[in-house]
Amino acid sequence: MWSLVRFELNQDRRELGVASHWTLLEALRYGLGMTGSKQGCDKGDCGACTVLLDGEPTLSCITPALEAEGRRVTSVEGLATAEGPHPLQAAFGECGAAQCGFCTPGILMSAAALLDRNLDPTRDEIKEALSGNLCRCTGYTKILDAVELAARRLREAEQAEDERATA
């Protein structure tokens, strides 16, 4: 059975026809051609398909597409802006936090949600926030370094802005 599903994807309104047994990941990748979110285990184990649903990290491979109705979806394609990559993306590049890169989109989304609610996380808080994302390549250390670097830069940018505003 086919139905229409409407949601906001990376701040654009989207409407597409999906079969009722499609997952949100299938709707993104095969319905909309947004292949940034990765299809890893396809059963909830690895985190490669992580997107934000109303800001919360969610596994799109086990979310029925119809449950996205009326909600706000953010995928890795929504992180960068016209000005350039998201500070997390820049830091991942600089720190060598991605090797094969398959886990990277999911990890970026978990990390982005963490930094949205806490710009000054401890290393343990970063580990906890990323604990649902598996990486087979990096050994995680450089990923944690990259998130710390991005958090520091975001804090500095915020501080600079505060100073400008009060100047």
Partner 1 sequence: MLRLPAFEYHRPQTVEEAARLLDGFGDQALAIAGGTDVVPNMKHGLFEPAQVISLRGLPELRGIHVRGAELVLGAGETLASVAAHPMVRLHAASLAEAAGLVAGPQLRNMGTLGGNVCLDTRCTYYNQTRFWRQALGYCLKKDGDTCHVTRVGRKCVAAHSADTPPALMTLGASADFVSARGERSIPIADLFIADGIWNTVRRPDEILVRVRVPLPPEGTRTAFRKVRQRNAIDFPLLNMALACELDPEERVRSIRLVVSALGSRPRMVSGLDEVATGRTLSDEVVEAVAGKAHQQCRPLTNIIVDPEWRRAMVPVHVSRMLRGLTTPAAAA
Residues contacting residue 147 through CB under 8 Å, at least 6 positions apart: 88, 91, 111, 114, 115, 121, 126, 130
28 in contact with ligand FES (CB under 6 A): no
Residue nearest to ligand FAD (CB): 44
**Alpha carbon separation from 166 to 130, 157, 161, 163 (Å, rounded):** 36, 14, 9, 5
* Residues 69-108 within binding reach of partner 1 (CB under 8 A): 69
Cα(124)–Cα(13) distance, rounded to whole angstroms?
A: 36
Count of residues of this chain found to bind ligand FAD when the rule CB under 6 A is applied: 2
**Residue 89 near which of ligand FES, partner 1, ligand FAD, none (CB within 5-8 Å, type-dependent):** none
- Check: CB of residue 147 under 8 Å from CB of residue 123: no
- Strand-pairing partners, residue 2, are 19
110 in contact with partner 1 (CB under 8 A): yes
| Piece of the chain touching partner 1 by CB under 8 A; list 36-44, 75-83, 117-125, 139-147 | 36-44
The correct pick among 66, 90, 137, 154 for binding ligand FES (CB under 6 A) is 137
* Residues 32-61 within binding reach of ligand FAD (CB under 6 A): 44-45
Query: What residues line the site for ligand FAD (CB under 6 A)?
Result: 44-45
Query: What residues line the site for ligand FES (CB under 6 A)?
Result: 39-42, 44-49, 59, 61, 98-103, 135-138
